[in-house]
Amino acid sequence: MIIQSVIFDMDGVLVDSEEAITLAAMEALTLWGIEASFDDFKPFTGMGENKFIGGVAEKYGKTFEPEMKKKTYEFYIKTAAERVSVYPWAKPVAEGLASRGIQFALASAADCEKVACNLSCIGVEPSSFSAIVTGSDIKYNKPHPQIFLTAAEKADFDPAATLVVEDALSGVQAAKAAGMFCLALTTSFSEGELKSAGADFVLDSLDGIFEIIEGAEKNE
């Protein structure tokens, strides 16, 4: 086992935006007469905003419309500075990987405008990543492996030597379907749920990622 590269999910890994995007979606859906609850969105975590918003809209008998997502992003970006919480490890881990010569990419089911907003919140330049793939770039959402395979192809990563960092069950399943290693964080789901989904490693924070990578090198 060797890990030569890393692919990060965004939400629940580098930033905690679950509350921010959920509140924005709740606010947006009221424009369609939908009074959704916070818990309505939980089953659709990590599946991209079309499903995140659309799944809830369908629950209330409404057909998903692209305008629903547009309005959600307007609310999200307007309130990101107050609502989006950047994990303390986000920037140090990116800098630590760069200093070790380990390339990393970003693969988020969110659309490009949300990803750009979140990177701005973190204070990391998009050019730091070998590739950035968003929900705007793919046809199939997680748990389909397309997003991670696309990121690996764009960044010229070997999938068999790539570590995906995820927080959602659908993301873990997508990483394993892509033939990659998966480190899951307990920011959205429990350790047991993440292991059942197939995670190779489970941590409470990303501070231990370097030990995992170094351990893989020693075991090679």
Q: Which token pair is 219? A: 């075991």
Phi, psi of 137 (to 5 degrees): -100, -5
Residue 11: active-site member: yes
CA–CA gap between residue 20 and residue 29 (Å, rounded): 14
Question: Which of 9, 16, 40, 111 is the catalytic position?
Answer: 9
Sign of CA dihedral 157, 162, 163, 169: positive
Residue 200: active-site member: no
Phi, psi of 164 (to 5 degrees): -95, 135
**Among 155, 192, 152, 160, which Cα is nearest to 176's?**
160
Beta bridge partners, 185, equal 203
CA–CA gap between residue 206 and residue 109 (Å, rounded): 20
Question: Which of 11, 111, 167, 200 is the catalytic position?
Answer: 11
In the 8-state DSSP scheme, what is residue 129?
Answer: S
Task: Please identify every residue annotated as catalytic.
Answer: 9, 11
